Amino acid sequence: MLRMSTLFLRTLREDPADAEVASHKLLVRAGYIRRAAPGIYSWLPLGLRVLAKVEAVVREEMNAAGGQEVHFPALLPKEPYEATGRWTEYGQGIFRLVDRKGGDYLLAPTHEEMFTLLVKDLYSSYKDLPLTIYQIQTKYRDEARPRAGLLRGREFIMKDSYSFDVTDEGLDASYAAQREAYIRIFDRLGLEYVIVTATSGAMGGSKSEEFLSPTAIGEDTYVRSPGGYAANVEAVTTPVPASLDWADAPAAHVEDTPDTPTIATLVDHANAAHPRADRAWTAADTLKNVVVALTAPAGSAACSWWASPATERRT
């Protein structure tokens, strides 16, 4: 009771006006976070305790996977990002600023450049590798429409980890170690998740996977098959089906299809005029139903036509 009487905490009876999703509403009403600006939040004592515990789980698993923790500044010079082309590639998605001497800086949206420059500075031989280093740092991105509280903010905490390897086999081993660390982290936090193939985006890379937690308020979409395949819709690959043998197929011919301006009317006509014994015609049996009108010079005839893969009409 003494701790509650001195705890820096105020709860709310009503939902905050700017909160759209349940997690945002509950965090604010329970006194875990407080809005400072759109997409920017202050952590209060209860919220900070939870955050520290989550970070502890991440650190334990990253250390167990062989990672070593570092910490970079959030305010970074322009030059490393200009060298990689990402100073302009990020467009309006990053915060840029100029200091009193006219130097260009940015608030880090990610730290790949700084990680690689640090290793280049301190290591000079392949014998120093492999190496895995990581950090838990605040990142900044100028979201056009911050929403969902901590889930999509302009300032957020990220754990980013990077391995430096000599061979492709070493890279595969480091990737596998990181993947297993992520699985242990999500399992320990009790989160439902799906591992899906993804695109690397501005970060680049030859392979990318996402750990997605299914939710009704999510903004990403993925596909999953009973066979175990799962991928973000942006990274879905469809195998080319085996070629069909058309050697015994009848020769193509023209069928009159009057009064069929739409696929639906074309399908109805086909079922009425040319019924099949095995199954009815469907829209999947057609390719297109297009009307093309030609305006001819004076004294010439005009014509139009529309067609499906197996039917065509001319007038």
What is the domain partition of the chain in residue ranges? 2-191, 192-240, 263-314
Which of 161, 204, 164 lies closest to 179 in space, CA to CA? 161
pLDDT (0 to 100) of residue 312: 43
pLDDT (0 to 100) of residue 308: 47
Q: What is the pTM of this model?
A: 0.74
CA 129 – CA 131 distance, rounded (Å): 5
Q: Does domain 2-191 have CATH number 3.40.50.300?
A: no
pLDDT (0 to 100) of residue 301: 52
Other beta carbons less than 10 A from residue 223's beta carbon: 13
Q: What percent of the residues of the chain are helix, what percent strand, and what percent coil, each to the nearest 5?
A: 35, 20, 45
- Pairing type for strands 230-232 and 222-224 reads antiparallel
Residue 19 and residue 27 in contact, taking contact as beta carbons nearer than 8 Å:
no
CA 271 – CA 278 distance, rounded (Å): 12
pLDDT (0 to 100) of residue 75: 97
**Residue type for position 78:** K
Residue 196 and residue 210 in contact, taking contact as beta carbons nearer than 8 Å:
yes
* Packed helices 168-189 and 45-64: angle between N→C axes, nearest 10 degrees: 140
pLDDT (0 to 100) of residue 259: 85
What are the pLDDT tens digits along the chain (315 aa)? Answer: 557 888 899 999 999 988 888 999 999 999 999 999 999 999 999 999 999 999 999 999 999 999 999 999 999 999 999 999 999 999 999 999 999 999 999 999 999 999 999 999 999 999 999 999 999 999 999 998 888 888 889 999 999 999 999 999 999 999 999 999 999 999 999 999 999 999 876 566 678 999 999 988 888 899 999 988 999 999 998 888 899 888 888 888 888 888 888 899 999 999 999 898 899 999 998 887 666 666 767 655 544 444 444 444 443
